[in-house]
């Protein structure tokens, strides 16, 4: 099927040229490098090393070592003893887990140092040195190995869920006769807990070799100099003679269908996936333009099929709640791909759901798509292409790096953005619908060869599960079904047929502090306009009105909880939900309505070109939400499945308990349950929406981004100025759901994999909300996080991850400062972890490590400089300034630099003075 396109495009010289702006080279020892200069943002760079090895290279006695080795890269190397690497990165404002990270998958291991400030040449040198150590200088010390065993064991515990348990035990059946059946990167805990050091050393030396590695540096750096440095540093690494080759691990064909039915007590819903395996696109052909065409055709067919599946899911007779089609790697393996259809069936209808979803796929294969469907896809595709291209000068380093990683590992082409834009602009009109349909026919196989069915179920007493026979019969039924062509129902009319009577801009005021203009419209609404070109393809809109859910009684809670989702599932104007999606083809614009305790919100975004559409959507949200019963019914059924068994997952048991404790069991914080769902009324929600949008004068809209001021003003008068407004603005009502004093909630819970989790909270309402206090809060949280990482993870091996933050909040009635610490712990070491969590907060009242404070300053100043490039940052700063008269932007750097260990300690003391402290702890039950 893929080669149909290949031959179509194969005439002439159609090789995709590599972007001339990236310097690619290969050293004599086989190491590849990619270097690119990019100055958005200025003085930042990414340093990556990609390795063409992963867990598939392990043998049976090494399961888990590829991933273990990745962890050891942060625990001692030639130039960075112990955890010095982490400490040095912290000193330049690069945080472990956020900017300093790595991942191991089945066939690749990638390490990164990101958002590096390239303010000093020495920083670039040191980052290259880290890459060098990762490539060839890990020391793998015994003591560090011992500590890391516990960390990885806890990573395994954290990641173990019903799905993971089932997938892991089913892999051998899904990959008969293949190593893929036994190579989940996390490995076997008995090996992790017991292997001897030489084992790891041997794996490292065998596979971490220059010919399997690529160094990638992108950012505000000098390309020539960086290339010289790479050559000097990495050339001495030698390639061992007779080095073992990375070979392609095949996935054997299966002549008979493979059907796996599994169940787990913590699996909260049932799901079926059908895979039709096919060969993957050959790496050696990916450099041809035909590949870009094939990719586009695949996109087109899957996107149109998924639209149909979504539309069908809303029909009452449809046996699935959701279904989606895809085409890509078959589970873990890149060497074989699969067309797949996944379904979330209605209760007891697994087989019927499989049949129905496959019938849709076969309908598309048999009759193809319609011209109107393809027209919409093309319009959407070309709009997205234009959007991305318009922002080409402001692409982030990460976007380039990801492409180069894919080029090295998977031979993905890396043309310049100008080239791919021009080529796709020309190709799209040349690729007729018949080509898409041909591809679709190739994807949907009629054969049992290479057919795989995977079904996960919620295990419970007296449940009936699908069987191998019943699932195969479901597929046979789909193949035998009489199929008719799809009819595309489209409403051929504009979003709004008549325009409302325009309002007027009555007043305007220029703000010097932030350079925005405040408009007052004739209906009383305020509009704050700030033009930026931080992102060339973005206009953001946010409206907020006063009132919120606090104005409604507790008996309305079910409606208030579902408010945003139900509005989202509804249509607008003359369009149902599905019709609206079709009507918006080619437009990149959206708007939604939601509510919290004291406010209602309108959130929107668009490209500069589609600002009018976005404003029309806002107008319709205020005046004409279209009741779409079918879409609503589908939403409620999906919610039912989500709620019914959610407490089977131990993490949900914990989070519900936490919410109730922190919210002192107030009805407003009670977790949403199945019974509540039955009390939801669609009509009442629509009424509430009308009430919340009845008065434009209660609203302020911020519009920020790359709009044209002269164009947007009349549009604002047309669509926002025309909304009804009243003089009197409703006032909200305070609802107090904050716990007071000392609260401890410690309980046991039995889970399939024993889990222990703790959250500790300290808060006060006595600290005034100021820019300086807000900065102190952030600092205190970050210092705490560093202490915990060191003491709980690195020293005690009592957890894989531990989070800490301190933040300030301000709303209509209150201000609060909250320290929040959370830690999924090793059950056997829970006491140690809990004690450290408590002690470190207490210790902070007496002082903090000046070295850590200095690191936090580096991070915050760097992060702040990056924030200045985001529209969202300016929006929230302006918002707070207008709302509370607090300017978070002014003197930021000065205030950060002025902080001392004493000022932070005093601040934490103030927070603890509040006397409000909660501990919620879940331990495993026998």
- 130: nearest Cα among 48, 210, 224: 48
| CA separation for the pair 253, 354 (Å, rounded) | 23
Minimum Å gap between C-beta 177 and Zn ion is 29
Minimum Å gap between C-beta 838 and Zn ion is 27
8 Å CB contact between 733 and 550: yes
Q: Which is nearer to Zn ion, 154 or 610 (CB)?
A: 154
Q: Which is nearer to Zn ion, 192 or 853 (CB)?
A: 192
Letters for 636-655 (x = contact with Zn ion by CB under 5 A, - = none) are --------------------
Minimum Å gap between C-beta 159 and Zn ion is 9
Minimum Å gap between C-beta 186 and Zn ion is 8
Minimum Å gap between C-beta 152 and Zn ion is 6
Token pair 């998958």 in the structure block, residue: 105
Q: Where are the beta strands (DSSP E) in 13-59?
A: 23-26, 32-37, 44-51
Minimum Å gap between C-beta 68 and Zn ion is 8
Q: At what angle do helices 771-788 and 850-867 cross, to 10 degrees?
A: 120
Alpha carbons within 13 A on the beta-carbon side of 338? 22
Give φ, ψ of 62 to 5 degrees.
-110, 15
The residues in 96-155 that bind Zn ion, with binding defined as CB under 5 A, are 155
Minimum Å gap between C-beta 83 and Zn ion is 15
3-state secondary structure of 21: coil
Q: Which is nearer to Zn ion, 155 or 337 (CB)?
A: 155
Please calculate the CA angle 823-824-828 and round it to the nearest 5 degrees.
110
Q: Which is nearer to Zn ion, 109 or 324 (CB)?
A: 109
Element (H, E) at 602: strand 599-606
Minimum Å gap between C-beta 75 and Zn ion is 12
Q: Which is nearer to Zn ion, 158 or 660 (CB)?
A: 158
Q: Which is nearer to Zn ion, 155 or 314 (CB)?
A: 155
Copy the structure tokens of residue 441: 């026919």
Q: Which is nearer to Zn ion, 313 or 802 (CB)?
A: 802
CB atoms within 10 A of CB 23: 16
Letters for 478-497 (x = contact with Zn ion by CB under 5 A, - = none) are --------------------
Minimum Å gap between C-beta 209 and Zn ion is 22
Listing from the earlier edge strand, what are the strands of the sheet with 756-764?
Answer: 742-749, 916-924, 756-764, 815-825, 803-810
Give φ, ψ of 390 to 5 degrees.
-65, -25
Q: Which is nearer to Zn ion, 71 or 577 (CB)?
A: 71
Minimum Å gap between C-beta 97 and Zn ion is 11
Minimum Å gap between C-beta 155 and Zn ion is 5
Minimum Å gap between C-beta 197 and Zn ion is 19
| CA separation for the pair 804, 815 (Å, rounded) | 20
Q: Which is nearer to Zn ion, 155 or 266 (CB)?
A: 155
Q: Which is nearer to Zn ion, 155 or 537 (CB)?
A: 155
Q: Which is nearer to Zn ion, 55 or 273 (CB)?
A: 55
By CB under 5 A, the count of residues binding Zn ion is 1
| CA separation for the pair 373, 379 (Å, rounded) | 10
Q: Which is nearer to Zn ion, 111 or 892 (CB)?
A: 111
Minimum Å gap between C-beta 800 and Zn ion is 7
Q: Which is nearer to Zn ion, 102 or 289 (CB)?
A: 102
The residues in 155-214 that bind Zn ion, with binding defined as CB under 5 A, are 155
The residues in 343-372 that bind Zn ion, with binding defined as CB under 5 A, are none
3-state secondary structure of 23: strand
Q: Which is nearer to Zn ion, 73 or 591 (CB)?
A: 73
- 148: nearest Cα among 650, 798, 644: 798
Alpha helices in 391-489 (DSSP H): 397-410, 417-430, 433-443, 468-480
Minimum Å gap between C-beta 784 and Zn ion is 23
| CA separation for the pair 133, 111 (Å, rounded) | 12
**Residue nearest Zn ion, Cβ-based:** 155
Minimum Å gap between C-beta 67 and Zn ion is 6
830-833 own/partner pairs: CB under 8 Å, 24+ apart: 830/756, 830/758, 830/798, 830/921, 830/923, 832/792, 832/796, 832/798, 833/758, 833/792, 833/796, 833/798, 833/799, 833/802
Instruction: Give Dmax over CA atoms of the chain in angstroms.
Output: 84
| CA separation for the pair 381, 374 (Å, rounded) | 10
8 Å CB contact between 191 and 65: yes
| CA separation for the pair 23, 222 (Å, rounded) | 11
3-state secondary structure of 326: strand
Copy the structure tokens of residue 183: 């190579």
Letters for 420-449 (x = contact with Zn ion by CB under 5 A, - = none) are ------------------------------
Q: Which is nearer to Zn ion, 148 or 579 (CB)?
A: 148
Cα 839 to Cα 800, 832, 844: the distances in Å are 19, 11, 9
8 Å CB contact between 508 and 518: yes
Token pair 């993971």 in the structure block, residue: 164
Cα 272 to Cα 20, 147, 481: the distances in Å are 46, 40, 20
Element (H, E) at 456: strand 451-458
Minimum Å gap between C-beta 71 and Zn ion is 6
Minimum Å gap between C-beta 109 and Zn ion is 11
Q: Which is nearer to Zn ion, 46 or 155 (CB)?
A: 155
Cα 556 to Cα 550, 552, 553, 670, 680: the distances in Å are 10, 6, 6, 13, 8
Element (H, E) at 818: strand 815-825
Minimum Å gap between C-beta 70 and Zn ion is 6
Q: Which is nearer to Zn ion, 155 or 717 (CB)?
A: 155
Q: Which is nearer to Zn ion, 384 or 801 (CB)?
A: 801
3-state secondary structure of 244: coil
The residues in 824-843 that bind Zn ion, with binding defined as CB under 5 A, are none
Binding site residues, Zn ion, CB under 5 A: 155
């Amino acid at each position: 099927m893929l080669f149909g396109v290949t031959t179509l495009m194969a005439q002439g010289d159609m090789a995709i040229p590599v972007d001339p702006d990236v310097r690619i080279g290969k050293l004599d020892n086989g190491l590849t490098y990619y270097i690119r200069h990019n100055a958005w943002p200025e003085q930042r760079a990414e340093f990556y090393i990609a390795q063409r090895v992963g867990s598939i290279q392990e043998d049976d006695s090494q399961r888990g070592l590829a991933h273990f080795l990745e962890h050891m890269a942060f625990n001692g190397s030639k130039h960075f003893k112990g955890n010095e690497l982490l400490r040095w990165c912290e000193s330049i404002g690069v945080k472990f887990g956020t900017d300093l990270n790595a991942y191991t998958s089945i066939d690749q291991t990638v390490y990164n140092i990101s958002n590096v400030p390239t303010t000093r040449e020495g920083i670039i040198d040191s980052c290259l040195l880290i890459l060098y150590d990762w490539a060839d200088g890990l020391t793998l010390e015994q003591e560090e190995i011992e500590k890391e065993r516990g960390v990885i064991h806890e990573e395994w515990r954290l990641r173990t869920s019903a799905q993971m348990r089932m997938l892991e035990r089913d892999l051998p059946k899904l990959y008969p006769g293949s190593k893929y059946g036994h190579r989940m990167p996390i490995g076997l805990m008995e090996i992790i807990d017991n292997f001897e050091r030489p084992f790891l050393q041997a794996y490292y030396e065998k596979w971490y070799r220059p010919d399997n590695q690529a160094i990638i540096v992108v950012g505000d750096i000098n390309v020539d100099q960086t290339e010289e440095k790479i050559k000097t540093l990495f050339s001495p690494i030698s390639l061992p003679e007779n080095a073992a080759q990375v070979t392609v691990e095949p996935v054997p064909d299966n002549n008979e269908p493979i059907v796996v039915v599994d169940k787990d007590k913590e699996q909260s819903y049932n799901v079926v996936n059908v895979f039709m395996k096919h060969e993957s696109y050959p790496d050696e052909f990916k450099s041809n333009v035909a590949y870009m065409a094939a990719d586009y055709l695949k996109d087109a067919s899957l996107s149109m099929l998924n639209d149909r599946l979504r539309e069908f899911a809303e029909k009452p007779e449809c046996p699935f709640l959701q279904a989606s089609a895809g085409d890509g790697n078959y589970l873990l393996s890149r060497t074989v791909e699969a067309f797949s259809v996944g379904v979330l069936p209605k209760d007891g209808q697994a087989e019927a759901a499989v049949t129905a979803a496959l019938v849709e796929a076969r309908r598309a294969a048999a009759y193809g798509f319609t011209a109107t469907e393809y027209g919409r896809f093309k319009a959407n595709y070309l709009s997205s292409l234009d959007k991305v291209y318009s922002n080409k000068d402001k692409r982030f380093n990460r976007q380039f790096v990801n492409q180069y990683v894919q080029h090295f590992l998977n031979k993905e082409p890396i043309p310049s953005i100008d080239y791919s834009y021009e080529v796709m602009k020309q190709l799209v009109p040349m690729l007729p619908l018949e080509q898409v349909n041909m591809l679709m026919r190739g994807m949907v196989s009629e054969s049992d060869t290479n057919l795989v069915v995977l079904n996960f179920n919620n295990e419970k007493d007296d449940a009936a599960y699908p069987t191998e026979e019943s699932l195969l019969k479901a597929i046979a039924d789909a193949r035998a079904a009489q199929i008719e062509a799809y009819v595309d129902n489209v409403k051929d009319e504009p979003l709004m047929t008549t325009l409302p009577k325009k309002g007027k801009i009555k007043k305007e005021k220029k703000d010097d502090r932030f350079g925005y203009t405040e408009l007052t419209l004739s209906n009383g609404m305020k509009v704050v306009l700030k033009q930026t070109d931080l992102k060339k393809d973005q206009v953001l809109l946010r409206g907020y009105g006063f009132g919120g859910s606090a104005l409604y009684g507790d008996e309305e809670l079910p409606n208030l909880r579902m408010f945003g989702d139900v509005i989202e599932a509804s249509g607008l104007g003359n369009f149902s939900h599905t019709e609206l999606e079709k009507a918006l083809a080619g437009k990149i614009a959206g708007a939604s309505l939601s509510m919290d305790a004291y406010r209602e919100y309108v959130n929107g975004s668009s490209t500069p070109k589609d600002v009018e559409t976005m404003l029309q959507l806002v107008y319709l949200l205020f005046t004409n939400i279209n009741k779409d019963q079918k879409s609503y019914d589908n939403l409620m059924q999906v919610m039912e499945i989500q709620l019914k068994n959610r407490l089977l997952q131990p993490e949900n048991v914990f989070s519900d308990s936490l919410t109730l404790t922190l919210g002192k069991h107030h009805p407003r914080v009670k977790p949403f349950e199945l019974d509540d769902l039955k009390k939801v009324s669609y009509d009442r929600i629509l009424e509430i929406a009308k009430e919340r949008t009845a008065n434009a004068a209660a609203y302020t809209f911020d519009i920020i981004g790359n709009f044209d001021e002269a164009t947007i003003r009349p549009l604002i008068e047309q669509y926002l100025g025309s909304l009804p407004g009243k003089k009197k603005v409703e006032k909200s009502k305070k609802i107090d759901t904050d716990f007071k004093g000392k609260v401890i909630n410690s309980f046991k819970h039995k889970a399939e994999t024993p889990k222990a989790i703790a959250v500790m909270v300290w808060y006060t309402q006595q600290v005034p909300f100021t820019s300086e206090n807000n900065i102190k809060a952030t600092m205190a949280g970050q210092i705490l996080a560093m202490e915990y990482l060191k003491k709980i993870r690195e020293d005690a091996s009592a957890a894989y991850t531990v989070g800490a933050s301190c933040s300030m909040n301000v709303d209509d009635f209150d201000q609060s400062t909250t320290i929040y610490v959370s830690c999924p712990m090793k059950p056997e070491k829970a006491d140690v972890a809990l004690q450290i969590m408590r002690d470190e907060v207490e210790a902070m009242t007496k002082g903090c490590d000046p070295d850590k404070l200095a690191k936090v300053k580096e991070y915050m100043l760097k992060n702040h400089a990056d924030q200045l490039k985001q529209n969202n940052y300016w929006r929230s700063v302006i918002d707070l300034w207008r709302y509370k008269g607090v300017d978070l932007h002014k003197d930021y750097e000065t205030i950060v630099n002025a902080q001392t260990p004493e000022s932070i300690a005093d601040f934490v003391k103030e927070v603890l003075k509040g006397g409000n402290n909660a501990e919620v702890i879940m331990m495993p039950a026998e």
